[in-house]
Amino acid sequence: MSVLLVALLLLPLLGAAALLVPGPLGIVAVRFGLAVSGVVFVVAVAVASLFDYSAAGRVQGTVDLPWIPWLGVRFHLGIDGISLPLVVLTALLTLLCLVYLAGHRPTRARELVFALLVLELGMIGTFLSLDLLLFFVFFEVVLIPMYFVIAVWGGEGRRRAAYKFILYTLLGSAVLLVGLLYVWAQTGTLDMVRLAAGHPMGRTPQILAFVAIGLGLAVKTPMWPLHTWLPDAHTEAPTVGSVLLAGVLLKMGTYGFARVAIPILPEGAAAVAPWLGALAVVGIVYGALACLAQRDLKRLIAYSSVGHMGFVLLGFATLTPVGINAALYGNVAHGLITGLLFFLVGALKERYGTSDLDRLGSGLLGRLPHVASLLTFAAVASLGLPGLAGFWGEMLALQGAYAPAAGLPRGLFLTFMVIGGLGAVLTAAYFLVMLSRLTHGPWGGPGPTIHDATPIELTAWVPLVVLILVFGVWPSALLGLTTPAVQAFLGVP
Amino acid sequence: MHVVYPAVVAALLFSIGVYGVLARRNTILVLMSVELMLNAVNLNLVAFDVWLRDMLHSGQVLTLFVIVIAAAEVGIGLAIVLAVFRTRKAIEFDRLRELGEP
Amino acid sequence: MIVSLVVVLPLAGAVLGLLLSRRPHGRGPAENLAANKRAAWFGVLPTALSTALIGWLAWENTPSTSVLTVIDTGGIAITAGLEVAELSVLTAMLVGVVALAVQVYSVGYMRGESRYPSFSAFISLFTSAMLLVVFAADLLVLYVGWEIMGLCSYLLVGHWWEERANSRAAIKAFLVTRLGDVGFLFGIFVLGFAAGSFRVADILVADIPESTLVLATLLLLAGVAGKSAQVPLHTWLPDAMAGPTPISALIHAATMVAAGIFVVARLYVLFPQPTLDVLGVAAAIGMLGAALAAFAQTDLKRVLAYSTISQLAYMAAALAGGARDAAVFHLVTHGAFKALLFLCAGAVIHHVGSNLLGHMGGLRRPMPMTFWAMTVGYAALIGLPPASGFFSKDAILYGLERSSSPIQLLLYGSALLTVGVTGAYATRAWLMTFFGTGKIQALPEPAPGTAHVFDGREAPLSMLWPMGVLAIPALLLGFTDAGEFHLAPALTALVVALLGAAFVYVVWRGAPERDPARLLGAFRDPCEQAFYVDRLYAVVFVRPVLALARGVVRTDDHVVDGAVRGTGRAAVGLSGLTRHLQNGNAQLYVTGLLAGVLLIAVGAVVLG
Amino acid sequence: MIQSIDYWAIAAPLILALAAGLVLLLDAFLPARPGVRAALGCVTLAALVAAFVVVVAQRGVRETFCVPSIGCSYVVDATTIVFAGLALGAGAVVVLLSMAQLAEGDIPVGEWYFLLLAALAGAVTLPASRDLIMLVVALELVSLPVVALTALRRYDGRGAEAALKLFVVSVVSTAVMLFGVSLLYGVTGAVHLDAIAAALAQPERPGAGPVVAVGAVMVVAGFGFKIAAVPFHFWAADVYQGAPIPVAALLSVVSKAAGFAGLILLLTQALPSESATWTPIVAVLAALTMTVGNVLALRQIHPVRLLAWSSVAQSGYILAPVATTDAQAATAYLVFYAAMNLTAFAVVMAVPHDTLDGYRGLVSARPVAGLALAFALICLAGLPPGLAGLFAKVVVFREVVAGGLGWLAVVMAVNTVIGLYYYIAWTARLFTPADATRPAASGPAWIAVGVATAVAVGFSAAPQFVLATLG
């Protein structure tokens, strides 16, 4: 198992390195990338199959090699119930992105595939690492490739958006580094597993560390006041960039809460939870309202991510097994649904050259029946319809908020629950308004020959649809994985 | 004689040197005031050496080195002033602004 | 085992209808026809099978529960299971019959429509969701079915989405019910955490303190009000008439709107008196207001929609008064005859090509079958003796007369008044449709939003059969529950109803071509606008939210984003400032240097 | 009493000094043909390599020029080896760069290599000196030749102006430093660093506190000028732009390393008892240096000027851990910084342009130079593909956070973001597609680029070897 984990990291690295070598690979870059990400996905599935589901709480397949003794950094990898779904999600989304690319001749394909493979390396590394600094290194590996994906292949205002993205996220990760090193200065060890087991830090250092680490992760999640980089980054990013940015990069922030912040700093988490909950709930309503008045489709979906991540953070703020399960479930569900949404919107943008709602016209169901019906399916899944993946994340988060952990103010969390519920209604409102403005309405008969979804696009999208349905109908697929791990670090029987 | 007298004289000499560096426009005069500062240091060192009755006389040893350093600096300083004069036909110290911030 | 088959069959039909009906892909007329035929089979067959199975369950009549899995969410577990009880089988039978009737009816109604496959698939999906609600053993599984029904109503009301109004009506329907559902979800949480499990059986038996019960049931009422279009959240139902008539018949007459009443009946033991009073007051107001509104409507379908609101309020009043069985009995009979009325209305609209009563008249002769079916429906609605409505209304009035609830007088009084007004609006609609002079003139090709015109003949056979099938229970259902038939309340109700009907007949007889609604005089317009409740909601809720949304976008751009951009500009500004110190004058550099040394020396001495 | 001299200990500076003399003589007697220029370069390089081998071969602590009761003036220990190795390595790259520079013919070859070797000899002796006199002399030995080097190009107005500025500021700060030394000597009566520390440890001298404080500050000012810390940073941009690029590289790496070595020796060995006074001052200086360096670098268009302000900012990062009295982190960062900065200077030398836009599309036109520069800039910014930069920053952050200077860590975080802006702005230009014609660079510059990049990539791939040598 541990060999497979190392393979998960080595393959993208070797793939990217091979692309760097000037040579014939440039022409078949996309196919080469497809092959590499395919193999990585197969390895991820192999890891999932070899995973011992009965002991999902325990870290499995650990690799523990000394890397920089002077700094005390160890190359410590491992996978458990929390990180397994995210690793498989990352491998899947990267594969689907490259499948999508195979259908579209991107310019400078070699550099784009190089960036995607390095992105995949960074993402999978973040989910696998069990050493604080190794987590930080992989957390930052993602920055440069995503910057170039936005800055080179993006829309008109791409340069400004790319700058804002990389500077904002770097500030976040710099503060995160300060937090991590503060934990290290207090405890003397960088090993997450040992830190999560015993809590040697006092209460106020824990609060300080949680605030620093929380801020760093909140920028990436994004939490409400620190979210302004997301809409710009999404509006300008190319389809593939948006899918990975929304599908996985946001998950690294929330995964940080589940892996680093809450298990290692429980008292800090308990002290800061009400504030985290408040900001999360504001994020839900704020995101929903911002979407209601949005003119651009990609910005709308970016703000919807702010809303959904609000629910995930609310789940974390409750500090109960139900809440954190909800957060992790919402994480994976949001990755699938928003990934599909951005694929569809990207397809629309490539066909019509714009993602502005007014210029896209109406009656899409008549013009592009397949794309429009998939868009309706994704929108409905995103507004949290039961029977689809989005519902369980939100419902369990509200249920967690109804009965938060012992030390937390019950009345406050009840108001969070009510506001979150209203936020869900607003979410339904803006998605339906978007659907009615875009897919419904007159469409004036068969227009110029804009081709509907091509087979390649469908092969990229159908797996996501199937997974959304599977996780909607059969939630214990994921909950069975995360519950033991969450109960393990929350110490709740 | 108490050590404070030479120390005060050295400090005064040093201040005059500093004034010279800041106020004079001609580079050569700036160099001369720097020499003044270095000599103030020598005075200070020798005074402390005598006052401490240092067996190693490190004060005086350092004074010798300072004198050598001062000589070297004057040599290079004047050479550079010559180079500046040859290219710019003027050696006003505060006129040389070509390399300022754009 | 059979019960899970009952639920899964329509779902399978829906999935197959959506995916496989259009093989090979193409939009030409030939492919459309083949696709419609295949979709019809995928729609009708599973529903028929499912109804048959329900029939067998009813005949077998043994309560049983079958649990699929228990989902452990870290907190309170959710049991995905189904439970067969006497009440649920009765309601399921209603759902099955009406759904089958509607599926057959819409084959004819939607002939030649290119999007029929998705239409019939969504109806099957709706049927399976409703059956899931009926047979759910766990409140959260019930909630899942509850929400999927809301989605299906959105998809089906917005079937003719070319017309912006239909799309807006669909959104309104979904959002108002969704608002109610949020309250419903919170109610489930309160109950679940108080009883320690979400299973209905455990909750019914758990001892929960009175105060939490009141809170939980009030929250549940929000969901019920939303789904069953009770007073505060009833505004979406009349607009939902924008959908095709079969949909109105199935969803907005018999099944979905009845789900709310079904849930109250199912958890009736949990409802303490204060909640029932609230329900009673809302029902009383709703009953009378909707009836008056129905009297003033010009559109036939909106008349029936308001009539549904009034009849549902009737059942709610029965529940508030403690007569649970009467309410359930009326639920079933109402489902039957209201679905019948809607199907007949569909046929009439099909015939005339417009929904407005003004365009109808003298249809007695061209459409005899529809005329007799609609007459039976109206008879049941008013409560004339042979029809089932007479018996179920009598049971409710008897229950209300003897109910021990503190607001008994209000309930009984408004019930009697409503019977009178129901008689009035039913007769008015009946007379204006079938009697008086015929007004058939060649109408232009109808806007896509209205039904298609037939050339004067009676509705096709595939539409008449379901009407016939539904007419039978509308007539005979009353006799099945022969039980306690009480002469006194029945007679009073009959007299009041006939009084209302006769009054309208007299007014109509005077001037057949003028609308009897002029009877209301000054009250006509408020009644037609349903007392301006819609406009009130728009002003109080919709417009402020949209304004807030625009405000949020502006602040997000200027304040939050401005702060971020501001830091960037501040950094560049700072660099502009420090630039002046770097103007190339070496003397300035040395001054800076010595000043720095002086500053640090003073700092060191002061600090040290 | 005759002092015994341990020739093995002073072997490295001795080789450099002799080589300097040899080069001067060779230049005098050999005819001025192009072949001779290359030969002199090779001789210098050979001397550097020999000195490097000697330095690396030295194990354990070797002391010489010792006074029996007080202490030794010249001590070679682990940090000295690292600093000397760093200076010699950087010197080798500078020699390669200067071979390309000298090819232009307007610089006298012999004098150039002589001054270069003299400066390197000073840079190697300074980390080993343990008394104030040797410290001062070594510092002057590093500063004056560099001033001369800056002015060596004939008929170059900008070079002369830069040299003059550098000279005046250097001489003034030396004067200030000497005055500080005299005060310290006056108060403690000793010149050896450990003797001074012992003298300052006994608190019996009344009223000596302020004098020691002022003396210490003035001595720190001397080193502050060398590392271009805030109040002493004004000269940096002008001199880097005016001087020839190899000299700018020399200034930004070798003289900075020497400045830090002196500062660390002074603060950690001579004034440990006064740490209560100088730690906050050094912390504030570090914060100011980074901020000013980064902020001013934001608006630069000229590549060398941008690298100048970036090196000022980087010295701010290096200064920060010195404020926590543990200098190993500073040394580690310095080593990484040297490799990254030299790569950047090497590429700027190989592909000279006056504006950043000149570098547009360098990756497509000259892949090796483009990727090397991009890698160096990303390392300087401290982002993952440049692991060397990242771990350097992590080491410094760790020291600052462990030392309890939370506010300084936050200031550093903000500064890394500001810094990232102009690094990424330049890197982005490298990757934008544009096909401007490229002036061809001469051979040695490419070798310099190759060597520097290899060292930087080596540090990124395996940072633990560097950190392990620090012990």
The model's pTM: 0.90
Separation between Cα atoms, residue B62 and residue B65, nearest integer Å: 5
Beta carbons of D171 and B79 less than 8 Å apart: no
CA A256 – CA A197 distance, rounded (Å) = 17
Average pLDDT rounded to a whole number, residues A415-434: 93
pLDDT score of D439: 62
Structure tokens at D394: 């992590």
Predicted local confidence at residue C527, as pLDDT: 81
* pLDDT tens-digit series, residues C576-595: 888 888 887 888 889 999 99
What percent of chain C shows pLDDT beyond 70? Answer: 95
Chains A and D touch (3+ CB pairs under 8 A): yes
Closest CA to D360 of D436, D276, D284, D272: D436
Decide if D282 is inside a domain. yes
**Least trusted range by pLDDT, from A319-328, A446-455, B33-42:** A446-455
Name the residue among D387, D398, D417 with its Cβ closest to that of A174.
Answer: D417
Interface list for D 294-313 with B (CB within 8 A): 296, 301-302
Q: Do A293 and C553 touch (CB under 8 A)?
A: yes
C64 touches chain B (CB under 8 A): no
Task: State the pLDDT at residue A445.
Answer: 67
CB A301 within 8 A of CB A438: no
Note the CATH architecture for domain B4-88. Orthogonal Bundle (1.10)
Q: Could you tell me which residues are beta bridge partners of residue C64?
A: C84
Q: Flag whether pLDDT at D59 surpasses 90.
A: no
Q: Is D158 on the interface with B (CB under 8 A)?
A: yes
Please indicate if any CB of chain C lies within 8 Å of the CB of D237.
yes
Q: Which domain holds residue A31?
A: 2-490
CA distance A433 to A417: 24
Q: How confident is the model at residue D307 (pLDDT cuts 50, 70, 90)?
A: very high
Q: Lowest mean pLDDT: which of C38-47, C69-78, D185-194?
A: C69-78
Give tens-digit pLDDT for C16-26.
888 887 766 66
Kindly state whether C584 is in contact with chain B, defined as any CB-CB distance less than 8 angstroms.
yes
Torsion of CA D406, D410, D416, D418, to 10 degrees: -150
- Chains D and C contact (Cβ–Cβ under 8 Å for 3 or more pairs): yes
Mean pLDDT over each residue of chain A, to the nearest integer = 89
Q: Tell me what the mean pLDDT of segment C32-50 comes to.
A: 87
Query: Which residues of chain C lie closer than 8 angstroms to D298, CB-CB?
Result: 571-572, 575
pLDDT of residue B40: 95
Q: What pLDDT does residue C442 have?
A: 45
pLDDT of residue A375: 93
Q: Would you call C199 helix, strand, or coil by DSSP?
A: strand
Residue D115 lies in a domain: no
Interface residue ranges in chain D relative to chain A, Cβ cutoff 8 Å: 367, 378, 383-385, 387, 390-391, 393-395, 397-398, 401-402, 406, 409-410, 412-414, 416-417, 420-421, 424, 428, 431, 433, 463-464, 467-468, 470
Q: Tell me how far apart the alpha carbons of residues C350 and C360 are, in angstroms, rounded to a whole number.
A: 11
- Residue in A322, A436, A478 to test binding to C, most C beta-carbons within 10 Å: A436
Domain limits for position D321: 275-471
* Residues C211-261 pLDDT 10s: 999 999 999 999 899 888 888 888 898 888 888 888 888 887 788 888 989
pLDDT averaged over chain C? 85
Chain-chain contact of C579 with D296 (C-beta, under 8 angstroms): yes
Average pLDDT over residues C419-445: 77
For C155, the closest chain A residue by CA position comes to: A376
Dist CA A72 CA A324 (whole Å):
31
- Which residues are CB-contacts of C577 (< 8 A; sequence separation ≥ 6)? none
Collapsing DSSP to helix, strand or coil, A38 comes out as helix
Q: What would the pLDDT profile of A265-291 be if each residue is shown by its tens digit?
A: 999 999 999 999 999 999 999 999 999
Inter-chain Cβ pairs, chain B and chain D, closer than 8 A: 132
User: Minimal CA–CA distance to A139: which of A23, A42, A31, A261?
Assistant: A261
Note the pLDDT tens digit of each residue in A344-380. 999 999 888 888 888 888 888 888 888 999 999 999 9
- What average pLDDT does chain B have? 90
Nearest residue to A467 via CA among A96, A60, A42, A8: A96
Q: For residue C65, what are the β-bridge partners?
A: C83
Q: What is residue C172's three-state secondary structure?
A: helix
Are B21 and D162 within 8 A, CB to CB?
A: no
In a domain, D368, yes or no: yes
Nearest by CB to residue C552, choosing from A290, A402, A433, is: A290
pLDDT band of residue A156 (cuts 50, 70, 90) is confident
Q: What pLDDT, in 10s, does the model give residues A197-232? A: 877 788 899 999 999 999 999 999 889 889 989 999
> How many structural domains is chain A composed of?
1
Does the structure show a pLDDT above 60 at C452? no
CA angle (A165, A170, A173) in 5-degree steps:
130
According to the model, what pLDDT value does residue A446 have?
Answer: 63
Amino acid in the structure at residue D300: Q
The reply to whether residue A181 touches residue D409, judged by beta carbons under 8 angstroms, is: yes
Tens digits of per-residue pLDDT, C123-164?
Answer: 999 999 999 999 999 999 999 999 999 999 999 998 888 888
Q: Which of residues 232-271 of D touch B (CB under 8 A)?
A: 237-239, 241-242
Residue of higher predicted confidence among D143 and A27:
D143
Return the structure tokens found at A59.
């870290």
Contact A425 C178 (CB under 8 A): yes
The reply to whether C443 touches chain D by the CB within 8 Å rule is no
pLDDT of residue D205: 65
Q: Average pLDDT for residues A463-487, to the nearest whole number?
A: 89
Picking from C306, C493, C471, C476, the residue whose alpha carbon sits closest to that of residue C396 is: C493
The answer for residues whose C-beta is within 8 angstroms of residue C441's C-beta and 6 or more apart is none
- Residue C479: Cβ-neighbour burial (10 angstroms; 0-12, 13-18, 19+): exposed
Of B22, B99, B100, the CB nearest to C587: B22
D39 in a domain, yes or no?
A: no
Does residue A121 surpass a pLDDT of 80?
yes
- A with D: how many residue pairs have Cβ under 8 Å apart? 90
Shortest CB distance from B34 goes to which of D171, D191, D242?
D171
Q: How far is CA C582 from CA C508, D17, D233, in A?
A: 98, 37, 10
- Point out the residue among C578, C586, C597 whose CB comes nearest to the CB of D231: C597
Structure tokens of D16?
């450099």
The average pLDDT across A155-173 equals 90
What confidence score (pLDDT) does residue C513 get?
Answer: 74
Average of per-residue pLDDT across B15-37: 92
> Residue C151 and residue A385: Cβ atoms within 8 Å?
yes
CA gap B59, B46 in Å, rounded: 6
* pLDDT tens digit sequence for C484-524: 667 777 888 888 888 888 888 888 888 777 777 777 777 78
Q: Is the pLDDT of residue C477 over 70?
A: yes
Across the B/C interface, how many CB contacts are shorter than 8 Å? Answer: 29
Least CA distance to D156: which residue of chain B?
Answer: B87
**Distance from the Cα of residue C234 to its chain's centroid:** 9
Q: Look at residue A413 in the predicted model and tell me its pLDDT.
A: 93
- Structural domain tally of chain D? 1
User: How confident is the model over D224-274, as pLDDT tens digits?
Assistant: 999 999 889 899 999 999 999 999 999 999 999 999 999 999 999 888 888
Residues D433-455, mean pLDDT to the nearest whole number: 76
